[in-house]
Amino acid sequence: MQQDQKIFAMREGGHKLAHVRDRLVEFTQVGMSFAQIEKEARRLIHESGATPNFALVPDYHWATCIMRNDEMCHGIPSETKKVVEGDLLKIDVGLLNRGFNLDTTVSFIVGEAPQATKDFLFTAQKALAKAIQTAASGSTIFDISFAMQKEVERHGYSMVYQLTGHGIGKELHEEPYVPCIAQRRDKRLKLYVGQTLAIEVMCAMGKADLNVDADGWTYRTADGSLAAMIEETVLVTNNGPEVLT
């Protein structure tokens, strides 16, 4: 019964969060401040009857993380940062629904950008799709990591090694961790029906070494190269992976 409640809550919450994420992409315009996007995210989450779960993380006070270009993750949605034509923008957003957490990130180009940026983003999207395809009962965390790493690196880009995806459910961040780099020890971590994972592709057009800004939150590439982050919350079922978000 408890497992049924979890799956019901997370399917419902995933539907809500997908709507919030997609609306935020449509809402975002050149010249808009990151704080305006944050305000709209809060409005949409509350309108859905859910709770902004990022704001429940100790010392983090926002419903979203918003990043541009070389920024990879955990970007504070400030009033001073504005959306610029050609930005590779990332919006990371989550919610708490009936006591269970959902998490998703979208990367998208605002307006027009060079073909190289479009190719990089397409590769990240394809890598996530391939990683999700492997998330079946009996597969391993290694299989997920290997699938995304292989797709990204064969196009000459690099995978982040300092941060990972994660299990998700009652807590926003749970075990097991899901690295972007395949690690042999993760061959022991087999997936099971009913398991829920936040699978994340985090990659850089150049080197994937990351530094943290003075704000203590924002990670960005050390070499200033473009960064992409794409994430879905996924349920392992008898019929394979189900994307909840």
Q: How many CA atoms lie within 13 A of 146 on its CB side?
A: 12
* Rounded Cα–Cα distance for residues 245 and 242 (Å): 9
In a structure prediction context, what are the per-residue pLDDT tens digits for the chain, which is 245 residues long? 588 899 999 999 999 999 999 999 999 999 999 999 999 999 999 999 999 999 999 999 999 999 999 999 999 999 999 999 999 999 999 999 999 999 999 999 999 999 999 999 999 999 999 999 999 999 999 999 999 999 999 999 999 999 999 999 999 999 999 999 999 999 999 999 999 999 999 999 999 999 999 999 999 999 999 999 999 999 999 999 999 99
User: Domains (ranges, CATH) in the chain?
Assistant: 2-243 (3.90.230.10)
Beta bridge partners of 108: 89
- What pLDDT was estimated at residue 189? 97
Local structure of residue 97 (DSSP, 8 states):
E
Tokens standing for residue 186 = 């993760």
- What pLDDT was estimated at residue 102? 98
Please list, residue by residue across 97-134, b when 16 or more beta carbons sit within 10 angstroms of its beta carbon and e when fewer do: beebbbbbbbbbbbeebeeebeebbebbbbbbbbbbeb
